[in-house]
Structure 1
């Protein structure tokens, strides 16, 4: 069959997907991308599945070729998770093996919270913390300030958002191409082919921009860095004000969880270069009030805390760290990733 693209009408919106394999296959896999990307990033992974697997990589709302619908950030990740459940219905899938990358890791965790019986297994690839991105400290996601300052739409680099909106294909510092090559991967060990680079850049530039999409609106704050989450758009949806996946530890039934990350990830980690508190600690952002009141977010520790509680309640998870990989281990270390992932979903390696 090969990799195909199509638009699927669901009860919620028209969803653009890439897919591979037998449409009637018993084993069903859903691959969910992260922020400023699309299902295109999974094209090579899609090509690895055997013919008896039906693998689908949708574009989330606000990305790729999927119908543009505003994102209600006050629902956290539920706009996206509800969209995916509607897609499963349209595909006539009673359940599926779910993989989520980066922000998509949080989205598939929310799917498992909303409908755990529909999740055969869960694979989290460089996932966002269960307590969103920015503005929290400690293993339990305690906010640094009562209004969650330091997270949300106002924390995103405005020049980068403008470059996405303008369709900037240059290699200038801070451009989408530059950010992809420096931060989506560990540039010291991986470089995309020219064909991959252009396809992935095109996918990034399909991101819808605005207050209802990326990055979202913002609210002034009296707390450093003087911006707090608004109520609309992407970065507010995954702020800790609205995204809290701690209840994942209590879901029943409990699908097996594989957590894969690279040890050179500069985006999701305990010292993320996209966390304003970390940038403040490094002296890059002025006015940082110090580690007592605004420490960098321990993203890995927060995920591990939730998964440890999941395991304590009878669930199982494995944490796999791929040496030298950055934020996209399924791209940067495909053989090592496939060996772990195929076994997790019951495929013969």
Structure 2
């Protein structure tokens, strides 16, 4: 753990969660929510970079880091996670807070905004999962490729990566080791993150299996022949379970800052983790073509939902950080911290 960060375990009616904080920091609470296959440790240096007057808090989601390895009900979308975060805020006696969510954590905090808007002072989305989930949609409006969510969910997980994750592989000997996946996709190569060994351990804290990562699957009559099951992490983001096309209806509407790396390979209109895009590239056989299975326009979808939010009376700002990938908070820490500080001051 980076000097200046301390951890504790907070027990709520829902779970016992590991929480990272900066001792003796007081002020407006800023709650950081990590992404998939990671933990609050990915936020440490941005927590320390917050200016005076803010209290940084990073929460480990269930099944990650030091939080309870509870099963995940995918049919609730990301609500298992958002309600866990809400329960930690209640245990810490936070009546409201700024929320910062990265990747899957961006979906978690959007879900929190949709369900509990009065809890949110500002919302910062960092390379967030699309408001229409991950995979299985075809256009800016989030139209499903198939009603069963085919082309999304746990069936899309790379089995070699899952195996190496479950075995605790710390090496860089294989392209699908957690270390190499971080080097290749979490950031823009050839960047190597500070604290790499600690962040690999963070990845390896992920609980694997059908109840957690990646989740279960089922057969589908639609290409590629599999659809999301009802359990586990990846299925929570399947578009038949997770959709936020009504985000513009919340009241009040806190300001939203959308921060993203320009060269993200994970959340992108051409994502290397989108089965339809991989099919278009020929990496998955039998792709039916762009008429029925175009790549999911993830960034376009997010912009469309946020434009609708703004048209309904909200405000948002999109900030694109050049020469960075999926983790601009790690790759461009000074630029990220400056943008985040501006976003926190928007309320």
Given that 2:217 and 2:228 are in contact with CA atoms closer than 8 Å, whether structure 1 keeps it comes out as yes
C-alpha distance in structure 2 between counterparts of 1:52 and 1:301, whole Å? 35
Q: Where do residues 261-280 of structure 1 align in structure 2 (5 Å cutoff)?
A: 261-280=260-279
| Unaligned stretches of 5+ residues in structure 1 | none
Q: Secondary structure, in 3 states, of the residue corresponding to 1:137?
A: coil
Given that 2:219 and 2:226 are in contact with CA atoms closer than 8 Å, whether structure 1 keeps it comes out as yes
What residue number does 1:200 align with?
199
Higher alpha-carbon deviation: 27-36 or 153-162: 153-162
What residue number does 2:220 align with?
221
What is the RMSD of the two structures over their aligned residues, measured on CA atoms? 1.2
Q: Where do residues 251-290 of structure 1 align in structure 2 (5 Å cutoff)?
A: 251-290=250-289
C-alpha distance in structure 1 between counterparts of 2:207 and 2:339, whole Å? 34
Q: Secondary structure, in 3 states, of the residue corresponding to 1:170?
A: coil
Q: TM-score, normalised by structure 2?
A: 0.97
Q: Secondary structure, in 3 states, of the residue corresponding to 1:30?
A: strand
C-alpha distance in structure 2 between counterparts of 1:3 and 1:147, whole Å? 43
Q: Where do residues 124-163 of structure 1 align in structure 2 (5 Å cutoff)?
A: 124-163=125-164
1:93 aligns with 2:94: yes
C-alpha distance in structure 2 between counterparts of 1:2 and 1:69, whole Å? 29
Higher alpha-carbon deviation: 158-167 or 94-103: 158-167
Given that 1:264 and 1:327 are in contact with CA atoms closer than 8 Å, whether structure 2 keeps it comes out as yes
Q: Secondary structure, in 3 states, of the residue corresponding to 1:136?
A: coil
C-alpha distance in structure 2 between counterparts of 1:322 and 1:147, whole Å? 36
Q: Where do residues 29-44 of structure 1 align in structure 2 (5 Å cutoff)?
A: 29-44=30-45
C-alpha distance in structure 1 between counterparts of 2:203 and 2:116, whole Å? 30
What residue number does 1:76 align with?
77
C-alpha distance in structure 2 between counterparts of 1:230 and 1:146, whole Å? 13
Given that 1:263 and 1:321 are in contact with CA atoms closer than 8 Å, whether structure 2 keeps it comes out as yes
What residue number does 2:239 align with?
240
Higher alpha-carbon deviation: 271-280 or 45-54: 45-54
C-alpha distance in structure 2 between counterparts of 1:308 and 1:324, whole Å? 25
In the TM superposition, residue 51 of structure 1 has moved relative to its aligned partner by 4.8
C-alpha distance in structure 2 between counterparts of 1:97 and 1:46, whole Å? 13
C-alpha distance in structure 2 between counterparts of 1:247 and 1:26, whole Å? 32
Q: Deviations over 1:311-349 (max 9, x none)?
A: 0000000011111110001111111111111011129xx
Q: Secondary structure, in 3 states, of the residue corresponding to 2:49?
A: coil
Given that 1:27 and 1:52 are in contact with CA atoms closer than 8 Å, whether structure 2 keeps it comes out as yes
1:9 to 11, 16, 34: 11
1:177 aligns with 2:179: yes
The runs of at least 4 aligned residues of structure 1 exceeding 6 Å deviation read none
Q: Secondary structure, in 3 states, of the residue corresponding to 2:246?
A: helix
1:307 aligns with 2:306: yes
C-alpha distance in structure 2 between counterparts of 1:2 and 1:284, whole Å? 45
What residue number does 1:102 align with?
103
What residue number does 2:47 align with?
46
Q: Deviations over 1:146-191 (max 9, x none)?
A: 2111101111111111111000111111111110000000014x22
